[in-house]
Amino acid sequence: MCGIFGLFINPGSDFSESDIRKLTSKLALLSESRGKDSSGMAFVNQESRQIEVTKGDVRIRKLISTKPFKTSLSDSLERYRSLHGSFSVFGHARLVTNGSQLKEENNQPVIKDGNLLIHNGIIVNADSLWEKYKELKREFKIDSEIILALLHQAILQNPSDLGLAIRNSLSQLEGTYSILAFIPRIGKYILATNTGSLYCLTDSKKFLIFGSEAYYLESLIKYLPSKISESAKLAITKINPGEVLLFSIPDLELEKLDFGKEPKKKIKSEENLPYMVTVSTVKNPDFGKEIVIEPELNFNRNRERHLFGLLENQSEKIEKIKRCSRCVLPETFPFIDFDQAGVCNYCRNHKPKPKANNQEYLRQLLEPYKSNSSKPDCIVPFSGGRDSTFALHMVKKELGMNPIAFTYDWGMVTDLARRNISRVCGKLGVENIVVAADIHWKRKNIRKNIEAWLRKPALGMIPLFMAGDKYFFYYTDRLKKQTGINLNIWGVNHLENTDFKVGFAGLKPEFEKQRIFSLSAFNQLKLFGFVGKEVLSNPTYLNQSVLDSLGSFAVRYLAPKKDYIQLFDYYPWDENEINKLILSEYDWEKSPDTNSTWRIGDGTAGFYNYIYHTVAGFSEVDTFRSNQIREGMITREDALKLVYEENKPRFETIRWYLEIVGIDFQEAIQKINGIPKLF
């Protein structure tokens, strides 16, 4: 979920001050792609036993331009130049999950009991661990604090067996963790991961560099002194899931522990004097809002009845709308017509898909891509939704591949989805590479487009709210180039075809198309024309989001897509099987405002489905359940029950969505409620 990194260089090496400055800056900026909400860096002075930390609610490119950071960097380089000490720095680029970025103690490095930690991941059982160990004092909101608390306690209780202490601590964690912990008491740094999202570049004598992605370290090699970059001993090492590595300064040789085995020798902790830690806090003068607001904690329909009561659910009127006699699509559906038997054209033109049950053929397709070593051999785009969760499970557990899970966090991925991502990746031991957008900027784009839309509502323009997430396709392809992995395996569910969204823009249905994310060239031009016409009649759409929106159109519809496989082309999609797996195997967390497991990780869905249902009397739910009927998965009677239940307004999600993008809930809902109905 975040980027962690560090650079340790011993005096007398071949690195110049200029080399170190460049490497520090490059490593920090590369790591920023994983988190832009806040950042922090720590410089360790081994000789004076001092640590200077600079951190705050700014992205890391801003942090490294501040005076406190520059002063600490210069002081560290001076000690290194005069051969008085090693250069030691480690840092964190944060994608906020819990713990407000506005409070200094929640930004990393986390400082507790004289120890320091940088953590990539989410500990989903942090609250229960605090409850279990009541003797431990919780000081912060951030989940990472429990890691330091457990390590500190275990090392005190097991001073003669450091390996046992570390294993006992980390084995209790659920979720994901890739960490560097500095424990002055034992004079050692701890590198550990349960997903493999941690890589080292070292010669074991003169220097050690670590980061969250191999690509970062590969990119740094060209900035190393030529003597080192050309050395045969130079190698990038992946820390595998469950591994723990220890090192100290100036001895940079990595000592390896393995969770699954007893250590060959007991590593004793050594009593050392504590370090003095000073913290310089950097504040963001341009942005003072919370990045994360948890709907289950902050919004509640029982506490906010005055707002909850604004949401419409004209169920009696909607139930009277004429619907297809075979599926449940209503007469308000774009381009729908009924024959004399009351069957809609979508049912009449439907061609049942061949039963996807050919795992043996799928294995044959995968064989050329399969790695003979432990190296990753495919990328699974992982939104945190139920279908991508199932796909990742199948790829790893059933198909025997070694995947990287890729997540594009564009600002509307909910904290619930992030926690579920951590549950799954942690249990599978799968590396999760995250690209985090500039969330503040993305949310500002969404706000501007919603404000423009509310001025002149048009159902065909609603997809503009989701334009920012389409870069998932672009970054997936970029990751393939960075990693050298050719194959990506998607968990796209064909039943989620929602062509009605562009139907409201005047595009007729394409019954023969093969991919749900495709449009014919003619329809692409027609869609572009519709959007252009709306923009001309409502110039407030001409805001800072224009380039972002145009880019999303290009990467979704125009960019070529190759070397990708859809799991559900070969394995049958079964809602009951998927729900059983995610809930029992991975202890999946559900949203507080719906019983469904669908569309709960996307904060946008609750809002736009409320608009469609309020104005047109149907939503994505109706299309999804209708597609299930056509494929013989459920009866029409059961589908209607689900439609009426799942179309109920999701107050907590809608409230969160509008709050997080900066739209007044009451004004927006009243405006939507006032739009003339199609029924």
Cα(282)–Cα(91) distance, integer angstroms: 15
In a domain, 66, yes or no: yes
Same domain, 270 and 170: yes
Same domain, 273 and 303: no
Q: Which residues pair with 276 in a beta bridge?
A: 50
In a domain, 288, yes or no: no
Strands (E), 354-501: 378-381, 403-409, 431-436, 488-490
Helix (H) or strand (E) holding 339: none
Pairing of strands 50-56, 87-94: unpaired
Check residue 228 and give its pLDDT: 81
Sign of CA dihedral 120, 125, 127, 128: negative
Cα(660)–Cα(222) distance, integer angstroms: 41
Q: Hey, what are 201's tokens?
A: 């570049």
DSSP state, 123? B
Same domain, 358 and 460: yes
3-state secondary structure string, 286-325? CCCCCCCCCHHHHCCCCCCHHHHCCCCCCHHHHHCCCECC
Same domain, 260 and 367: no
Residue 13, domain CATH: 3.60.20.10
Same domain, 507 and 541: yes
In a domain, 356, yes or no: yes
pLDDT per position as a tens digit, 316-349 = 999 999 999 999 999 999 999 999 999 999 999 9
Helix axes 605-616, 620-630, angle to 10 degrees: 80
Helical spans, DSSP H, in 38-144: 60-63, 67-81, 126-132
Cα(203)–Cα(205) distance, integer angstroms: 5
**Res. 273: pLDDT tops 90:** no
Same domain, 240 and 389: no
Check residue 99 and give its pLDDT: 80
Q: Which domain holds residue 384?
A: 297-312+351-589+602-617+649-673
Same domain, 465 and 396: yes
Same domain, 136 and 168: yes
In a domain, 127, yes or no: yes
**440-454, 464-478, 628-642: segment of lowest average pLDDT:** 464-478
Residue 565: how many CB atoms within 10 A of its CB? 17
Per-residue pLDDT averaged across 441-464, rounded?
96
Q: Which is nearest to 387 in space by CA: 531, 581, 227, 234?
A: 581
DSSP state, 544? T
In a domain, 336, yes or no: no
Tell me the C-alpha to C-alpha distance, in Å, between residue 394 and each of 95, 216, 430, 552, 570: 28, 29, 12, 29, 12
Check residue 296 and give its pLDDT: 66
Answer for the pair 625, 328: CB distance below 8 angstroms, yes or no: yes
SS3 507: coil
Q: Which is nearest to 618 in space by CA: 213, 315, 291, 202?
A: 315
Answer for the pair 163, 150: CB distance below 8 angstroms, yes or no: no
In a domain, 339, yes or no: no
High-pLDDT (> 90) share of the chain, %? 76
Pairing of strands 87-94, 38-45: antiparallel
Task: Tell me the pLDDT band of 292, cut-offs 50, 70 and 90.
Answer: confident
In a domain, 42, yes or no: yes
Helix axes 415-428, 386-393, angle to 10 degrees: 10
Contacts of 179 (CB under 8 A, 6+ apart): 4, 117, 118, 119, 120, 121, 147, 190, 191, 192, 193
pLDDT per position as a tens digit, 197-210 = 999 999 878 899 99
Check residue 608 and give its pLDDT: 98
Cα(249)–Cα(189) distance, integer angstroms: 9
**Res. 261: pLDDT tops 70:** no
**Res. 2: pLDDT tops 60:** yes
Per-residue pLDDT averaged across 281-306, rounded?
83
Amino acid letter, residue 623: T
pLDDT per position as a tens digit, 503-529 = 999 999 988 766 655 678 888 889 989
Exposure of 506 by Cβ count < 10 A (0-12 exposed, 13-18 middle, 19+ buried)?
A: middle
Cα(602)–Cα(622) distance, integer angstroms: 18
Same domain, 241 and 370: no
In a domain, 7, yes or no: yes
Per-residue pLDDT averaged across 447-471, rounded?
94
Exposure of 445 by Cβ count < 10 A (0-12 exposed, 13-18 middle, 19+ buried)?
A: buried
Tell me the C-alpha to C-alpha distance, in Å, between residue 291 and each of 56, 294, 408, 416, 440: 13, 10, 16, 14, 8
**Res. 668: pLDDT tops 70:** yes
Cα(213)–Cα(479) distance, integer angstroms: 11
Same domain, 304 and 238: no
Q: Which residue has the higher pLDDT, 302 or 195?
A: 195
Same domain, 521 and 569: yes
**Res. 561: pLDDT tops 60:** yes
| For the chain, counts of helices (H) and of strands (E) | 26, 19
Check residue 239 and give its pLDDT: 96
Cα(135)–Cα(138) distance, integer angstroms: 9
Same domain, 264 and 200: yes
Per-residue pLDDT averaged across 154-159, rounded?
90
High-pLDDT (> 70) share of the chain, %? 95
Tell me the C-alpha to C-alpha distance, in Å, between residue 393 and each of 134, 135, 195, 567, 613: 35, 37, 14, 11, 34
**Res. 560: pLDDT tops 60:** yes
Per-residue pLDDT averaged across 409-419, rounded?
91
Whole-prediction pTM: 0.92
Task: Tell me the pLDDT band of 258, cut-offs 50, 70 and 90.
Answer: low
SS3 638: helix
Check residue 264 and give its pLDDT: 57
pLDDT per position as a tens digit, 77-131 = 999 988 778 999 999 999 988 888 878 889 999 999 999 999 999 999 999 999 9
**11-20, 329-338, 554-563: segment of lowest average pLDDT:** 554-563
Check residue 384 and give its pLDDT: 92
Per-residue pLDDT averaged across 272-278, rounded?
89
Number of domains the chain is built from = 2
